[in-house]
Amino acid sequence: MKLKILLLIPILSSSIFAFNTSKYINQDHCAQLIINPYFKVCYDYNLMGAKVISYTLNGEKVNRINIKKRPSFHTEKSLNREYRVSPKSYSKTGYDRGHMANDASFDWSIESLNATYTMANIVPQEPRVNRYHWVKVERYARLVARKLGSLNVVNIIQYTSNPKRLKKQNIAIPKGFYKILYNKEKDFEKCFYYKNDSSSYEKKEKLKKHLIECSLIEPNPLYP
């Protein structure tokens, strides 16, 4: 598998970039914290979507069962009704319902798989980005989790200060996405960035093109 090549790329020392999830997922930064047994969501009422989603992949569970049948998208019941996004809000918008905690990493039980289909875990993604590029880094994360035993994943959704929005429910459209992968015990750390722009990429673009230095991620990259 070509993705294995990235495991050989030198990593940054944790002394250079000691990622701290609590800097991004906390009561001050998030309008509401949504926590289930599988991942955490930093939700923003104004954006009508997530700002940060984090989770830990268990290398023994990843790809253990691979449930084929996918559940339906559903609203997030822990949110007040005015902040819940309906799956229908994405219909005929040209955007995919983009998973941040992706279904293929949690298809080892019906409960974990179903959890990823909450709309609080979904953001508008350009189809080519979602289907051909973002999916590659998700696959790579599972590969690393199996190799190292576990892997921490943090998805930071980048918005502009005045984002474009889907007409239905005024859902903010992200500018881009950071994916941070790390295992401090194994001294492993890699970061990636993807623009939410289909015209920016070729269909067969290599994963390493999106690799960035973790130290370049700003303390708060949400509103550049």
**Amino acid identity of 157?**
I
Residue 188 forms beta bridges with which residues?
183
- Which two structure tokens, joined as six digits, stand for 81? 């009704």
Q: Please provide residue 24's backbone torsions phi and psi, each rounded to the nearest 5 degrees.
A: -110, -30
Tell me which of 29, 74, 99, 210 is the catalytic residue: 99
Question: Which of 74, 73, 134 has its CA nearest to residue 105?
Answer: 134
The reply, when asked if residue 196 is annotated as ligand binding, is: no
Beta-carbon contacts of 47 under 8 Å, excluding residues fewer than 6 positions away, are 159, 163, 171, 172
Q: Number of C-alpha atoms within 13 angstroms, CB side, residue 102?
A: 23
For residues 192 and 89, what is the distance between their CA atoms, to the nearest angstrom? 28
Is 99 annotated in the active site?
yes
Residue 138 belongs to what H/E stretch? helix 135-148
Q: Are 18 and 219 in contact (CB under 8 A)?
A: no
For the chain, the straight-line distance linking the first and the last C-alpha, in angstroms and rounded, comes to: 36
Q: Are 174 and 159 in contact (CB under 8 A)?
A: yes
Which DSSP category does 16 fall into?
A: T
- Which two structure tokens, joined as six digits, stand for 62? 């990843």
The residues that are catalytic are 99
Binding residues: 130
Binding residues for Mg(2+): 130
